[in-house]
Copies of this chain bind each other. A is one copy, B any other.
Amino acid sequence: MFRPIGLRVLVERLEEEAKTASGIIIPDNAKEKPLEGKVIAISKEVEEDENLPINEGDIVVFAKYAGTDITIDGKEYLVLNTDDILGKIEK
């Protein structure tokens, strides 16, 4: 599996429908509306940073054009800098 390095996390983008369950709707046409994704893996540095309460399984909201696309085992993921993460959904 892929382990991020530095202040980075690996995220799987959430499609529009999946999002209505969590309540956050990010309409396509909106100007630069942030996007949503599920955290798949976090780096050692993120794990040890108390001010970055981000864990595997969290649903995070991030700036639209942030991150780098990467394909693992044929599936599309995004490597995100934590600076680009606006917040997360708390149950």
A interface residue numbers (CB < 8 A to B)? 1-6, 8, 10, 23-27, 30-34, 41, 43-45, 48, 50-54, 60-61, 63, 68-74, 79, 82-83, 85-90
Q: How many copies does the complex hold?
A: 7
Given contacts A69-B30, A71-B25, is CB(A87)–CB(B52) below 8 Å?
Answer: no
Given contacts A5-B54, A53-B44, is CB(A26)–CB(B86) below 8 Å?
Answer: no
User: Do B5 and A82 have beta carbons less than 8 Å apart?
Assistant: yes
Q: How far is the CA of A85 from the CA of B4 in the complex (A)?
A: 9
Q: How far is the CA of A45 from the CA of B83 in the complex (A)?
A: 13
Given contacts A79-B86, A79-B87, is CB(A5)–CB(B53) below 8 Å?
Answer: yes
User: Do B26 and A71 have beta carbons less than 8 Å apart?
Assistant: yes
